[in-house]
Amino acid sequence: MTPAKIIISRSIEETGIRKNLLEDLALKLIYLVGEIPLNELARQMGLSYKVVEELFQRLRRDQLCQVTGMTGGTHRVTTSSSGKSRP
């Protein structure tokens, strides 16, 4: 039996999952946790750090999340007031 290959996506497009769905899931996790480092968000979502960084940049550009500090060279983020009220 041949072991399954694990493919690590390097971009949102490579995941094969709609951008809006990934953004909504990331935003929901950030909201539920309150404040989370991006590497922990990547672990919880089962995505590469690079994909989560891309999601973060999109959420930040749309002012749905904000940086609260740094932990070990990675951003800690939380939802903004706009992110908390996003339908």
- CB 27 within 8 Å of CB 80: no
Cα–Cα distance, 82 to 47 (Å, whole number): 25
Cα–Cα distance, 27 to 77 (Å, whole number): 10
Give percent of the chain with pLDDT exceeding 70: 98
Q: pLDDT of 43-67, one tens digit each?
A: 999 999 999 999 999 999 999 999 9
* pLDDT bracket for residue 1 (50, 70, 90): low
Is the model more confident about 40 or about 5? 40
Average pLDDT, the chain: 92
